[in-house]
Amino acid sequence: MAKNYRKYKNKLPESIMDEIKEKTEGMSDTRVNKVLKEAFNEYRKMRVNSGESVGLVGAESIGEPGTQMTLNTFHFAGVAEMNITVGLPRIIEILDARKTIKTPMMEIFLKKPWSTGKNIKQLALSIKESRLKDILVDITVSIVDSKIELKLDDEKMKEIGIINSKVVSALKKQFKKASIKKKDDIIMIKHKGKEDSMEDVYKIKEKIKDVYIQGIKGITQVLPVKRNNEFIIISAGSNLKKILKLKEVDGTRTTTNDIYETAGVLGVEAARQVIINEVNKVIEAQGLNVDMRHVMLVADTMCFSGEVNGITRYGIVSEKASVLARASFETPIKHIINASLAGEVDQLNSVVENVMLNQPVPVGTGLPGLITKVK
């Protein structure tokens, strides 16, 4: 039995071998052998032939459905508060590897017991970035003694789980020179030090409104939802680093749709997976059918240098070896001048250069050469 498996050990990938082992448990030797043989033949058939222009076929396979996407005008989805970029703009955003994306989003998975729905609303709201103005009912300036009085909304405070003293300490942190007093449910602020002109007081008033109270910076909206019998939190805005530090969060499954953030926090391999997932999400939402491997190839190309590069003239195109290929994309003059200054040599190894020279391109039938002995 083991002999059979050993024979195919390096011929089939491990994951397939494991699956076969599991499925063929208890079968006779000859049958197992037959299964392995079939599996190997099937696997060999599925492999890409050498000389196949995978990149171009991938580009066409993603590009063709892309032209249909432009025609569909469903580029935004969701309710008014939570807009998500989808469709062609999102694809462009991903493939260009934009540093700041239009609608950053997170899917925050939770550990038990929070994932069963315990205090889910409070948890969500505590994650959300809150500023003073969110819990403010009234703010008045007394002109006589240049005092600012704040009145807070108790209900809203309860909702996001914050108490008066916390607000006061947050204010104290921000305005170290001011005296802050609490009287019943009114907070009084008086600026010490220099003589305050009215203008300054009003400036402070505006500043107070923006005082950070609690939550995670960058998370502008939260939405607890139930997915597959467990509660997760979907957020608009993204801050992976800080979210992962929370004790309630299941860091192994929590994701963001920001490629750069993922690359920074979890590394380039995770970024590659985010690219694949995000592109697939768009393609699936549009009801299109693109083979996974094309997307994977694109993601690999974007990430193989160890950092995320977009498919732009600054990204992976600038890494092309051939001067002529780069020049035939955008900004030809720049590339030619730089190449002439550095004395670059074009080895003519790729498609575009050879089309320009009218030489057979090194793919498919252009790949093999015929060698004969000349007497």
Partner 1 sequence: MTAEIYLNGKYIGEAEDPITFIEQFKSERRKGSISFNCNVGYDEKADTILLNSNEGRAVRPLIVVKDGIPMLTDNHLKQLEKGELNWNDLVKQGIIEFLDAAEEENALVAFTEKELRTEHTHLEISPMDMLGLCASLVPFANHSPTPRVNMGSKNQKQALGFYAANYLVRMDMDVNLLHSPQTPIVRTMMHDIYGDQNHPSGQNIIVAVMSYDGYNMEDAIVINKSSVDRGLARSTYYRPSVAEELRYSGGLVDEIGVPDKEVKGYKSEKDYRLLENDGIIYPEAKISEGDVIIGKTSPPRFLSSLDEYNLAAATRRESSVAVSHGEKGIVDFVLITENEEGNKLVQARIRDQRIPEIGDKFTSRHGQKGVIGLLVPQTDMPFSASGITPDLIFSPHGIPSRMTISHMIELIGGKVGALAGRYIDGTIFHSEKEADLRKELLSLGFRENGVETLYNGRTGETYKAKIFIGNMYYLKLKHMVANKLHARARGPIQLLTRQPTEGRAKEGGLRLGEMEKDTFVAHGASLLLKERFDSDNTRVPVCEKCGLIAIYDSHKNRSYCPICGDNVEISNIEMSYAFKLILDEFKSLCVYPKLGLANKY
Can you give the binding site for partner 1, defined by CB under 8 A? Answer: 51-53, 56-57, 59-60, 336-337, 340, 345, 351, 355-367, 369-371
What's the closest the beta carbon of residue 299 comes to partner 1, in angstroms? 20
Give the span between the Cα atoms of 152 and 30, in whole angstroms: 79
What is the helix (H) or strand (E) element at residue 356, kind and residue range?
Answer: helix 351-357
Nearest to 135 by CA among 155, 105, 107, 115: 155
**At closest approach, how far in Å is the CB of 359 from partner 1?**
7
105-108 vs 255-256, strand pairing mode: antiparallel
Q: Which is nearer to partner 1, 113 or 360 (CB)?
A: 360
Q: How far apart are CA 334 and CA 215, in angstroms?
A: 47
Asked whether 157 and 163 are in contact (CB, 8 A), the reply is yes
Residue closer to partner 1 by CB (options 1, 357) is: 357
Asked if the bond preceding 113 is cis, omega within 30° of 0, the reply is: yes
Cβ distance to partner 1 smaller for residue 170 or 352 = 352
**CB of 228 or CB of 372, closer to partner 1:** 372
CA dist., res. 372 & res. 334, Å (int): 43
Which is nearer to partner 1, 179 or 340 (by Cβ)? 340
Looking at the Cβ atoms of 69 and 243, the one nearer to partner 1 is: 69
Closest CA to 270 of 242, 241, 293: 241
Q: Measured from the CB of residue 312, what is the shortest distance to partner 1 in angstroms? A: 19
Q: How far is the CB of 46 from partner 1 (least distance, A)?
A: 18
| Closest CB to partner 1 among residues 203, 334 | 334
Min. distance of Cβ 311 from partner 1 in angstroms? 16
329-364 burial, b if ≥16 CB within 10 A, otherwise e?
eeeeeebeeebeeeeeebebebbbbbeeeeeebbbe
Min CB(351)–partner 1 separation in Å: 6
On the CB side of 72, CA atoms within 13 Å amount to 19
Contact yes or no for 316/330 (Cβ under 8 A): no
Smallest separation (angstroms) from partner 1 to the CB of 344? 11
Residue 336 to residue 315: CA distance in whole angstroms: 18
Q: Is 267 left (phi over 0), alpha (psi -120 to 50) or beta?
A: left
Rounded distance, CA 152 to CA 295, Å?
51
d(CA 136, CA 205): 12
Question: Tokens 């002995």 — which residue?
Answer: 373
Residue 41 C-beta: closest distance to partner 1, Å: 23
Shortest Cβ 228–partner 1 spacing (Å): 40
Q: Please say which residue, 56 or 198, places its beta carbon nearer to partner 1.
A: 56
Residues in the chain: 375
